[in-house]
Amino acid sequence: MNRRDAADVAGSVSLGTWAAFTVLALFVTGRAGAPLWLDDRFLIWSVGHRPEEAVALARGVTATGTGAVPYLLVALAGAVAGRTPRTRLLASALGLACLAAGQLLRYGVMESIQRPRPPRSDWTTHASGWAFPSGHTTTAALAAGLLVIALTLRAPRGGTTLRIAVCGWGLLVGLTRVYLGVHWFTDVVGGWLFAAGWLGACLWAAAHWLPTPLLSNMITPTPIPAEDHAPQDPGGGGRSRPA
């Protein structure tokens, strides 16, 4: 995929997910933060299925969606994507900037919508701030997306299992927020949409504005040497016959 095609795909994904996020945000604000669609059902199911082992596991997973872990994963993504020390450092810096700026933008959206969380009596972990969009969900989804992109650029024909595992982690962090009772399901959906929209916008900007030599060093996979299939003369030791 060339630079223009990559920018077009990223821009289309960004526009589509931002549109979906906007529709969901309008529904949330239109109902003054009240539960939507399956929100109540997911919460009721979660409250009724909480053995101690599952709660402990969910707390462990949800803790990886904030703090140092997502930032370390994004720095790792930059190291994977770059082909030289300079481009590794640049890719890591750009990824961390994407994550940090996304966090600030999400916080602004959250403060403007001010959706209440589910009832505190249903919580099984600590939480603070407003509910929509989910912060842990957004952070984990952004980190997972950047790492998957880096793995795909480095090994476009391999590493499928690892990419699936990274995506699974990003999704699971969001689901644990519902299971632990601190977010409505639509908060988590909003976090996924927000992350996809912001990631697409950052990729679009990178494809348009990064200098071509730097971008090429980050997105061009290592070429595989082609085998020489030139026919040889079995009786001539590989030398061509004179005309």
Q: Mind listing the pLDDT tens digit for each residue in 136-151? A: 999 999 999 999 999 9
State the helix-helix crossing angle for 85-113 and 135-154, rounded to 10 degrees. Answer: 150
Q: What does the pLDDT look like over 3-40, one tens digit per residue?
A: 677 777 888 999 999 999 999 999 999 998 899 988 99
| Closest alpha carbon to 109 in 43, 21, 240, 180 | 21
Give dist(CA 206, CA 204) in Å, integer: 5
What six digits make up the tokens of 41? 């059902």
Confidence band of 215 (pLDDT split at 50, 70, 90): low
Beta-carbon neighbour count of residue 94 at 10 Å?
20
Q: What does the pLDDT look like over 40-71, one tens digit per residue?
A: 999 999 999 999 999 999 999 999 999 999 99
Global pTM value: 0.85
Give dist(CA 77, CA 86) in Å, integer: 14
Give dist(CA 110, CA 78) in Å, integer: 28
Mean pLDDT of 120-142: 95
Q: Are 167 and 9 in contact (CB under 8 A)?
A: no
